[in-house]
Amino acid sequence: MHKPASMFWTRRSFLLGSTAAVLAGTEPSPRKKIALIATAVFEKSHAQHFIDRFALGYT
């Protein structure tokens, strides 16, 4: 069974529709809370790097 051509989405129509839906009256959401679970946090550790990125950003 073939679907009519009007039922197919083009990439352009999908992007235009989804962008319009996102921009249509959405208010900025408050900052979300995050948590880090690590076994060890010390200077130059992988966990410390994550904490620094969450707290300070990528500046």
Q: 21-35 pLDDT, tens per residue?
A: 777 766 667 877 888
CB 47 within 8 A of CB 29: no
Q: Residue ranges of the domains in the chain?
A: 34-59
Long-range contact set of residues 12-20: C-beta below 8 Å, sequence gap at least 24: none
CB 54 within 8 A of CB 33: no
Q: At residue 8, what are phi and psi to the nearest 5 degrees?
A: -90, 140
Q: Alpha-carbon distance 15 to 10, whole Å?
A: 9
Is the whole-model pTM more than 0.85?
A: no
CB 58 within 8 A of CB 52: no
Q: What is residue 6's predicted lDDT score, i.e. its pLDDT?
A: 62
Mark the ranges of the chain whose per-residue pLDDT is less than 70. 1-7, 25-28
